[in-house]
Amino acid sequence: MKTYELIDKPGLESLAIVERPVPVPGPHRVVVRMRAASLNYRDLVVAQGRYGGKNSVGLTPLSDGAGEVTAIGDGVTRVKPGDRVAGIFMQTYLAGGLTAEKSASALGGAISGVLSEYVEFDEDGVVRIPEHLSYEEAATLPCAAVTAWNALVAEGGVKPGDTVLLQGTGGVSIFSLQFAKVTGARVIITSSSDEKLERARQLGADETINYKTNPKWEQAAWDLSGKRGVDIVIETGGSGTLNKSLRAVRPGGRISLMGTLSGTGGEVTTAYILQKHIRLQGIYVGSRDLFEDMNRAISQHQIRPVIDRVFDFGQARDAYAYLESGAHFGKVVISI
């Protein structure tokens, strides 16, 4: 079978297709014929060998993919050949709180990922995908969609009538927009592109702010919240925007922090956090339980992930480059 690996050194130029034997599932293991994979910003960092101090050489990249179960090992009961499944981001994070042990099982980072024709998983490491989704669509769920669900619903505790502030139009933001709308929340979204803001509006965004033409977007968000402050911010920008989020959120509000687009640190006005009794919750994807809760919502509302562009299996490097350009709206997918 064909699989991508970072063959000799970090960097996209080292990402290449190699030939490997199709895995044979051991007891309680399953093999999946992957049909699609999707990219996250994290995958750029991994490919560059900058992810958590690991150089990632020898690793198959990407955490997010979906396909069809082709073989199962002894004792498997959760799935059967022919089932349409996606791998879960952290293979041992089934439920409850995050632990170091669970973190160490993340696909396409801590362990090999899914940009491969066949991948072997523990039977506990996959979930069935919603019936109305194509493999390309389902491949976008494991990291970006579960992160958005965790940030907004599980940890965010969003409820109807809340005002949610979303930053940008990347994968997590667009999933957050879709989930916020079915939860009855009001959505304010930012972008540097009026065209992207218009697309967000078509997806249900109630208010839009162009942060390029309106650099004081935090003030605009505050005003749009009736000068009460927004209830929840999905902070995908990282430290570059966090101070503005701290201003835009209401006293007692919540900020779910999951992105580091602007780097891994920066100046933070901690005084706001305490004076406004703000909860700043780090979000690192989520458990299989959350994935399955989310799938029920996706199925019920027939939500379709927003895919910007699908690349062929041979064009993986182009897909990475396209993600890096920031031109996308929604997810970048590779067909396998």
Q: Which residues bind a copy of itself (CB under 8 A)?
A: 26-28, 52, 94-100, 103, 153, 159-162, 179, 182-184, 186, 228-229, 238-239, 242, 250-252, 257-260, 264-284, 287, 289, 293-301
CB nearer to a copy of itself: give 40 or 311. Answer: 40
For the CA atoms of 319, 69, 110, 311, the dihedral, rounded to the nearest 10 degrees, stands at 0
CB nearer to a copy of itself: give 48 or 183. Answer: 183
Minimum gap (Å) between residue 48 Cβ and a copy of itself: 15
CB nearer to a copy of itself: give 67 or 253. Answer: 253
Residues 6+ apart with CB under 8 A from 316: 4, 15, 115, 334
Minimum gap (Å) between residue 294 Cβ and a copy of itself: 7
- With beta carbons less than 8 A apart as the criterion, state whether 129 and 295 touch: yes
Tokens of 85: 């499944």
Rounded Cα–Cα distance for residues 226 and 222 (Å): 7
Long-range residue pairs from 249-252, CB within 8 A, at least 24 positions apart, any chain: 249/165, 249/276, 249/278, 250/225, 250/276, 251/276, 251/277, 251/278, 252/276, 252/277, 252/278
Minimum gap (Å) between residue 270 Cβ and a copy of itself: 5
Minimum gap (Å) between residue 285 Cβ and a copy of itself: 9
CB nearer to a copy of itself: give 21 or 96. Answer: 96
Minimum gap (Å) between residue 214 Cβ and a copy of itself: 24
- With beta carbons less than 8 A apart as the criterion, state whether 203 and 304 touch: no
Minimum gap (Å) between residue 158 Cβ and a copy of itself: 9
DSSP, collapsed to helix, strand or coil, labels residue 216 as: coil
CB nearer to a copy of itself: give 81 or 265. Answer: 265
Element (H, E) at 308: strand 307-311
DSSP, collapsed to helix, strand or coil, labels residue 305 as: coil
CB nearer to a copy of itself: give 77 or 213. Answer: 77
